[in-house]
Structure 1
Amino acid sequence: MERRIDPSLSLPERTAPTVPFVGEAPANPVVSTFPSPDDDRPAIRRPLALIDGHAYAVAWSPTPDAVPSGSRYVVVRDDGVAFGHGPARSPDDLPYDIAFPIAPRRVRLWRQSAIESYLRGLRPDPSDLLARLEACYDTFIDFGFSGADQSSICLLLASLSISTWFADAFPIIPYLWIGGERGAGKTHLGTVWAATSHLGEVILSASSPSAVRDLASLGAALYFDDAESAVRARRGGALDRELLLAGNRRGAHVLVRRATARGESDWIAVYAPRAFSAIAPPDATLASRAIIVPLTRTIDPVRAQRDPADPFAWPCDRRALIDHLWAFALANLTRAETAWRTLEDERSLLGREFEKWRPLIAIAQILEDGGVADCVSRLRAVIGASRNAAHHHLLPDETSEVIAALAHVVVHFRAMPDSEIASARHVWFRSDCSIRIDNALILRVVQEVAPEGSLASRAERSAASRIGRAMARLGFQPSRASGSGRARGWVVNLDRVVAIAGAHGIPLPAASTIDDGPGARAPHHGRTTRV
């Protein structure tokens, strides 16, 4: 159901005196990852930064050319102290240098009137902020076939937009991968994400790699439209694949050579949120770092005619929304860092699969603490549904195919009584948590679970060999049952399969029926013992 949010502001706007911007930014700022030998002070290298337990936001005064040369700035701390605002807090009182390669576009920056509201102690209401973000996605995009209901996917993407403003609080930030056929609305979704994310920009294939690096060093959220060629390129592409894929972890840097007579090199920070849209699914490396949102062509005639490029089509004041996101992020960056740490005991997901969802759960916790009811439980529910939907939009991966087959085996045999398991053709032994199954069963289930996958398309001997290598990589032990001529197989711990499936982001099926009825009775080893 479509929602319209009242465009009135949570932070009352008024005609306020302009914030006096004092302090000249350096004419030719140079970003260096290491402090100079004679100055070991930390530097604010991003417009929204978390340093020594405080969050800082940097804003520029309006300049016609929007370049750092000659621009003036004000720095606002999370506790409401401004440096460069009034005589009591001059730029000299700030214990950090400020160094940016470029200044962001004015439409992405915090406006002076909104800064005045923050300094007066006004903060945006989290419930209202989240509702406006959800409405932005709900207005333009039909998520009817994206794995969950419309409002749930809007919550997921609104949380993802908010997380881009908190990148400095998280060691890892997830990517967004938007998939679907032509005309499915991928560009519209990417545009909404960029417009609601921190310093968000839409990057086309003709963009200069050096300019993209500069934006990434600011922590800008970058949306790459029609990203197939960019992410598949190995060398000589318009954009460097390593620049695209290596920036999801804090501390990621690339070494670039400057165009100077001496050819000096600089380390450039590339940790920044990214989104990609493409018809083809992502490869395994990118998929492990991305939240995948599949789209199909909408049959909704209202949403089909709307375009996020039309400012009058938006359900709220976009500029006010950006101001409030600046204020919300600055006020809660330190809380986000704490919320991240509280999730260290998470057990429902493991490893890299949990890493990409962890920032969103931390954001949901902050929103819930701010008055958004049941935000964490709602987000966790949509995460489960989204993972199920995304699994069907990935490139074939043989290890994942084997894990998915084992997940079906676990669900199937856990539902069977012991007497039936003992007489199943391909099961040799069962204990409280382990069974021994032969390669024939694994291969057959792989062919049933992934009929279009890589293993199903291979000859039986080749597929069996590859299944064996995958099982060994996953740490399962090979075994041969007693009796001559018995096929080789594997000891499969059922609980371990569940854990491995969770770590790889592969959901367990709700039910599984494997045709493995009684045949030549497998040798049964009497009473059950733990393998």
Structure 2
Amino acid sequence: MFTIDLNSNRRMERPFFLHDGIGYGCCWLNGTDARGRRTQAKVVFDATFQNLYSDQEIEGHKLLEELPFTLELAGTPTPDTYLSAEGYHAHVINKKPLPSYAEVFSDVVRNLDAFIAFHDASGTQQEQTEMLAAYVVSTYLINEFHAASYLWFGGERGSGKTQASIAASKMASMGVFTQGTSTFASLRETAALGGLIFCDDFENWRGFEPDKKNMFLSGTTRGASISLRRQGQREGDWVTEHVPVYCPKGFSAISSPDDVLASRSIFVELRRSDDGERTGRSPTNVADWPVDPMLVRDWLWLHTVQLLPKVESVRKDIEGRIDLSGRDRDNLLPLLTVARLVELSSGRDGLVDRLLDLAKRNADQRESLMPPSENEVLIRCLQSLMTTRNAGPIPTSDIRGAFVRYCENQDISEHSYLEISPMRIGQMLSRLGFNPSASHRNRRSWMISETDVRKACVDQGIVFPEADDAEVEQLAPSSTIFEIWKTDAHYDSASNIASKPAAPWD
């Protein structure tokens, strides 16, 4: 007889879980069974450290079947990225007191400060390190927020991006540091469990395999997943699998993030440093850490289980205090919630205000340093091109040429801008709402009017540009529309005889 599962919504799918106002945590312990064979035990414990459960027979532990909810974890995290057996034995079984949450946060700050030299006019070394520490700690609480931001380390070669990425990953929740060559299959369990995935050298992300690219770009909203088709148990059967991808992610790259990524990113600008003491240390050498990163992970793991019931009220308190909306609020809310929890632990205020002030200064500086968006450059070029040619469609190649000339004239050195392809120009025009001409299939060109450009400006929040005569002269293409079409031969594939294309104004 079929029995309806009335507890389908009470599933622990990630290592941290809030059930009936009580926090629960999970970890994996290596050991030996009754026959002396090496094996691994899956363990669940509550915030009191009194109720312990396991899938193995361990003294003082109940069976997992006795949990008040269903345990359905997506897999096992990468080794050495979660609560250690030593930490579980010391604090959960033997009840050794934990350092305070504020003390652990200070240890995260000390560790980051040991490896990263910030030379940024927008904030002091202490302020920037506190901001980064708040992000690292917030990775443990990501399931309690509706959105997760990216952490983006930018800077030239030799600025310490890789060192900073490794240091942050080693203290984050289930943090994995990876190169661009890693496959989706190797990262999917970390993403499904909600761990931090940090991808070094992210410049070439557009060349990633589709599933991996989707995982990195679509997992910023809680509940996000990607659908995969895989072979079923029987030949010819195919099954749709939904892989959760909501998790914190970090990137390092020489280039700046594009518009979409930038809107979701906490951006950290790094520069070459002559601080030999910091640059001489390596986060892969445990002896170089002021506090062992394993201890920091253990303490944060256990504190998270105990703090889960408080997070919602603290988050709502922060939402009421900050004057932010949209993605700016989503990006900072986890960090500010951590800062407030630290304040409550230490009994001293000030950290939330410092992070808010630094975030504003970082945003102002970032805006002054960032090149205009691709859309803004494109709209600027379209407005200028309309003043240099007769009525009629504008070829994509001409628009691309004006785009590159604008970047060169404005000293915009972004590689992706200077090497932009006609296909990318066409995609941008389409997304901005411009229509291809009637002859688009024979000669790729676009119908552009001042009304269309003004509408695109409104949609994108861009002030309608007014180009001066000198700029129009610089952006003007070398040939007129008539000359371009006259020299562009079109061939009938069957007869290989040149055929005259329709005039662009037809």
TM-score, structure 2 as length reference? 0.69
Query: Is 1:48–2:16 an aligned residue pair?
Result: yes
Aligned counterpart in structure 1 of residue 91 of structure 2, from 117, 122, 126 = 117
Q: Which residue of 2 aligns with 1:160?
A: 135
Match of 1:145, SS? coil
Instruction: Provide the C-alpha distance between the structure 1 equivalents of 2:285 and 2:144, rounded to a whole number of angstroms.
Output: 33
In 1, are the aligned partners of 2:82 and 2:174 still within 8 Å (CA)?
Answer: yes
In 2, are the aligned partners of 1:124 and 1:327 still within 8 Å (CA)?
Answer: no
Relative to 1, partners in 2 of residues 1:146 and 1:220: Cα closer, same or farther, differing over 3 Å?
A: farther
Per-residue CA deviations over 1:146-181 (Å, capped at 9, x if unaligned) read: 631100000000000000000111111211011111
Q: Which residue of 2 aligns with 1:473?
A: 459
Q: Which residue of 2 aligns with 1:370?
A: 345
Instruction: Provide the C-alpha distance between the structure 2 equivalents of 1:93 and 1:342, rounded to a whole number of angstroms.
Output: 36
Match of 2:17, SS? strand
Match of 2:148, SS? coil
The letter for the 2-side match of 1:468 is R
Aligned residues: 388
Aligned counterpart in structure 2 of residue 359 of structure 1, from 334, 339, 350 = 334
Match of 1:343, SS? helix
Relative to 1, partners in 2 of residues 1:467 and 1:54: Cα closer, same or farther, differing over 3 Å?
A: farther
Q: Which residue of 1 aligns with 2:470?
A: none
In 1, are the aligned partners of 2:311 and 2:337 still within 8 Å (CA)?
Answer: yes
Per the TM alignment, residue 258 of structure 1 is displaced from its structure 2 partner at its CA by 2.7
Per the TM alignment, residue 211 of structure 1 is displaced from its structure 2 partner at its CA by 2.3
Instruction: Provide the C-alpha distance between the structure 2 equivalents of 1:330 and 1:400, rounded to a whole number of angstroms.
Output: 46
TM-score, structure 1 as length reference? 0.66
Aligned counterpart in structure 1 of residue 287 of structure 2, from 309, 312, 315 = 312
Q: Which residue of 1 aligns with 2:66?
A: 93
Q: Which residue of 1 aligns with 2:219?
A: 247
Relative to 1, partners in 2 of residues 1:214 and 1:37: Cα closer, same or farther, differing over 3 Å?
A: farther
Divergent runs of 4+, >6 A: 398-402, 462-467, 474-478
Farther-moved stretch of structure 1 (81-90 vs 199-208): 81-90
Relative to 1, partners in 2 of residues 1:348 and 1:61: Cα closer, same or farther, differing over 3 Å?
A: same
Relative to 1, partners in 2 of residues 1:154 and 1:280: Cα closer, same or farther, differing over 3 Å?
A: same
Q: Which residue of 2 aligns with 1:75?
A: 44
The letter for the 2-side match of 1:374 is G
Structure 2 spans left out of the alignment, 5+ residues: 33-37, 379-405, 419-447, 465-506
Query: Is 1:321–2:296 an aligned residue pair?
Result: yes
Query: Is 1:182–2:157 an aligned residue pair?
Result: yes
Question: Cα RMSD (Å) of the superposition?
Answer: 3.4
Q: Which residue of 1 aligns with 2:76?
A: 103
Q: Which residue of 2 aligns with 1:59?
A: 27
Structure 1 spans left out of the alignment, 5+ residues: 1-35, 403-446, 479-531
Instruction: Provide the C-alpha distance between the structure 2 equivalents of 1:308 and 1:138, rounded to a whole number of angstroms.
Output: 11
In 1, are the aligned partners of 2:77 and 2:189 still within 8 Å (CA)?
Answer: no
Q: Which residue of 1 aligns with 2:228?
A: 256
The letter for the 2-side match of 1:76 is F
Instruction: Provide the C-alpha distance between the structure 1 equivalents of 2:411 and 2:329, rounded to a whole number of angstroms.
Output: 27
Relative to 1, partners in 2 of residues 1:159 and 1:168: Cα closer, same or farther, differing over 3 Å?
A: same
- Bigger fraction of residues in helix: 2
Instruction: Provide the C-alpha distance between the structure 1 equivalents of 2:212 and 2:337, rounded to a whole number of angstroms.
Output: 31
Instruction: Provide the C-alpha distance between the structure 2 equivalents of 1:53 and 1:268, rounded to a whole number of angstroms.
Output: 27
Per-residue CA deviations over 1:342-391 (Å, capped at 9, x if unaligned) read: 23335532211221011111111111011154211221122122222332
Instruction: Provide the C-alpha distance between the structure 1 equivalents of 2:143 and 2:364, rounded to a whole number of angstroms.
Output: 30
Relative to 1, partners in 2 of residues 1:475 and 1:153: Cα closer, same or farther, differing over 3 Å?
A: closer
Instruction: Provide the C-alpha distance between the structure 1 equivalents of 2:368 and 2:148, rounded to a whole number of angstroms.
Output: 23
In 1, are the aligned partners of 2:30 and 2:39 still within 8 Å (CA)?
Answer: no
In 1, are the aligned partners of 2:155 and 2:161 still within 8 Å (CA)?
Answer: yes
Q: Which residue of 1 aligns with 2:373?
A: 397
Relative to 1, partners in 2 of residues 1:247 and 1:477: Cα closer, same or farther, differing over 3 Å?
A: closer
Relative to 1, partners in 2 of residues 1:121 and 1:53: Cα closer, same or farther, differing over 3 Å?
A: farther
Instruction: Provide the C-alpha distance between the structure 1 equivalents of 2:276 and 2:39, rounded to a whole number of angstroms.
Output: 49
Q: Which residue of 2 aligns with 1:33?
A: none
Match of 1:240, SS? helix
Relative to 1, partners in 2 of residues 1:375 and 1:463: Cα closer, same or farther, differing over 3 Å?
A: farther
In 1, are the aligned partners of 2:7 and 2:70 still within 8 Å (CA)?
Answer: no
The letter for the 2-side match of 1:227 is F
Matches within 5 A, 1:390-429: 390-397=366-373
Instruction: Provide the C-alpha distance between the structure 2 equivalents of 1:49 and 1:159, rounded to a whole number of angstroms.
Output: 21
Q: Which residue of 1 aligns with 2:267?
A: 292
Per the TM alignment, residue 301 of structure 1 is displaced from its structure 2 partner at its CA by 1.6
Matches within 5 A, 1:127-526: 127-145=102-120, 147-230=122-205, 232-233=206-207, 237=209, 240-260=212-232, 261=235, 262-346=237-321, 348-371=323-346, 372-397=348-373, 451-452=410-411, 468-473=454-459
Relative to 1, partners in 2 of residues 1:399 and 1:309: Cα closer, same or farther, differing over 3 Å?
A: same
Q: Which residue of 1 aligns with 2:382?
A: none
Per the TM alignment, residue 117 of structure 1 is displaced from its structure 2 partner at its CA by 1.8
In 1, are the aligned partners of 2:171 and 2:294 still within 8 Å (CA)?
Answer: no
The letter for the 2-side match of 1:252 is A
Per the TM alignment, residue 132 of structure 1 is displaced from its structure 2 partner at its CA by 1.0
Match of 1:362, SS? helix
Per the TM alignment, residue 244 of structure 1 is displaced from its structure 2 partner at its CA by 0.4
Per-residue CA deviations over 1:269-288 (Å, capped at 9, x if unaligned) read: 11111000001100111111
